[in-house]
Amino acid sequence: LVRVPYTFAVARFGGRNWTVFSAVSLLVPTLAAFWVMEPGTSYATFVAVAALTGIGGGNFASSMTNINAFFPL
């Protein structure tokens, strides 16, 4: 879900700005992972946190767009 918008955001906001934003946005699933470490966590909470980890995939896609120019063919 976030892969396509993240890819276009690099061109829109600039590589450095978007890298900072995407790195900070990865704190959301990281903090959510600490939230589910309690033994009484419900299954629905685990599913919601697992969905948040998809941000990492979008982040990877946008970083590949950003650094593509630095690697020649």
Q: Which residues of 37-65 are buried (b: 16+ CB within 10 A; e: fewer)?
A: eeeeeeeeeeeebeebeebeebbebbbeb
- Full 3-state SS string of the chain: CCHHHHHHHHHHHCHHHHHHHHHHHCHHHHHHHHHCCCCCCCHHHHHHHHHHCHHHHHHHHHHHHHHHHHCCC
pLDDT of residue 57: 79
pLDDT at 45: 92
* Successive 10-residue mean pLDDT values, the chain, 73 residues: 79 86 88 89 92 82 76 74
pTM of the model: 0.66
